[in-house]
Amino acid sequence: MICDGNKLRILVKTPPLLSNSSVFLLVYWLGMGLLMGGCGSLPKESAEAQQERRGVSGQADGAIPVDVAIARKDGLQQQLEYTGTTTPFRTVSLRSQIQGQLLALNVDVGDVVSQGQILGQVDDTLLQTALNQAEAELAALKSEVARANAQVNNARVEVERTRLEVAQALADAERQDKLLKEGAIAQQAAEQARTNAQTATQALRAAQQQVRTEQEAVAAAKGRLTAQQALVAEAKERLSYAKLTSPIAGAVLEKVTEPGNLLQPGNEVLKIGDFSRVKVRVEVSELELANIQVGQSVQVRLDAFPNNTYVGNVARISPAADSTVRLGLVPVEIVIPNNGAKIGSGLLARVNFAEQGQERVVVPLTAIQIEGGNNQNQNQNPRVILTKPSTMLQLHLTELEVVYQILLKNPASSKLTPLNPRFTN
């Protein structure tokens, strides 16, 4: 064991030379791709280790020349990276709701639009004519309601007049009856007075019935007025459809038609994408589904912005795998923020499902000695030999979990095992 500044160097001896003063460390098993990438990134450390080996061999009497490797910190998290393309968070089609010729289209592909912005105009001549007719009929119905209300008022006046006549007739009939009893008038005059009172009473009933009839006429006229008001509102709403407005805020993705074309209800005019957030769709092997869950945080890198790393979340995992592929691939959607709307559609994205793990101390594969001298023997335990452990190494062992990353030629081995270092004098 050699300490050079902040660097930790590890002296590796062959198995026949192992003694009781050696320290044996169990190591983690790791996937082939991760270690080969990590071991291949140490050219500088290997050169320094070769220089250090000469010094060590000169200082130790009787020591057999061995390889010296420099330990370094690295992550041991297995990287699950998949490629996909970016798409808008949602895509909305702007369609015509009326029939007519498209007179104008004020935007082009790539233009940014806001919600409610007028994007085009459809010919509204017929709709304007229909609205004018509906408004004219509405005005006529309002006049009819006014006349009906006037008739009601007249009938009520008539009721009051006949009520006075009834009161007068009843008073005359009572007075005539009194005079008849006194013998002052003939019986015929008294009977005529009673007849006049009855006639006035019937006229009052007729006037009251006329008031009720006029009130019913007013109610009917108001009903027709309400219906016509609804028709006018409908005509105004249909007229508003002549102006094509954006349903969402976003960017124009596609122009489906051009000004001058005849539109039918339901014809598509534009496609608008919402880029406030961006979705990335990747196809994941069914063997990796156990490591992925909805809401999981992922890292996304875009080739268009190589210096930026975006953090997103798994939004949806398809319940059905792609049946057209022999090895089941399951579609997974990731949503990432798009501050400033810099990310567009169709960009190549690289999605990494592995979370950032704790850094560990690792050594290259060349520093590993297999018992028996055969590095390809899968049944033997690999080991790293540390001689004369220093205070620095002991500090690392007490404060950090020290592990060593190796790879035997066993592709099926992907699990890591805990490291239990032991020191002897």
DSSP of 369-394: EETTS-TT-TTSPEEEEE-S--HHHH
pTM of whole model > 0.85? no
Is the pLDDT at 276 greater than 70, yes or no? yes
Quick one: what percent of the chain has pLDDT higher than 90? 42
Q: Are 151 and 211 in contact (CB under 8 A)?
A: no
- pLDDT of 274 reads 94
Domains 81-120+252-352 and 125-240 share a fold: no
The string of DSSP letters for 161-216 reads HHHHHHHHHHHHHHHHHHHHHHTSS-HHHHHHHHHHHHHHHHHHHHHHHHHHHHHH
Edge-to-edge strand list for the sheet holding 262-263 = 243-245, 118-122, 100-105, 262-263
- pLDDT of 178 reads 84
Is the pLDDT at 151 greater than 50, yes or no? yes
Six-digit token string for 165: 């006549």
Q: How many residues does the chain have?
A: 425
pLDDT in tens, 102-112: 999 999 999 99
- pLDDT of 391 reads 39
- pLDDT of 79 reads 62
- pLDDT of 199 reads 87
Pick the CATH number of 125-240 from 1.20.1270.60, 3.90.550.10, 3.30.160.100, 3.40.50.150: 1.20.1270.60
Phi-psi region of 407 (alpha: psi -120 to 50; beta: other; left: phi over 0): beta
For residues 147-159, give the mean pLDDT: 90
User: Binning pLDDT at 50, 70 and 90, where does residue 328 land?
Assistant: confident
Measured CA to CA, the distance from residue 240 to residue 121 in angstroms comes to 10
Q: Are 94 and 229 in contact (CB under 8 A)?
A: no
Mean residue pLDDT across the chain: 74
Domain extents in the chain = 2-76+359-406, 81-120+252-352, 125-240
Q: Higher model confidence: residue 405 or residue 90?
A: 90
Measured CA to CA, the distance from residue 279 to residue 334 in angstroms comes to 5
- pLDDT of 218 reads 92
Longest dimension (CA), the chain: 170
Measured CA to CA, the distance from residue 217 to residue 227 in angstroms comes to 15
Q: Which fold has domain 81-120+252-352?
A: Elongation Factor Tu (Ef-tu); domain 3 (2.40.30)
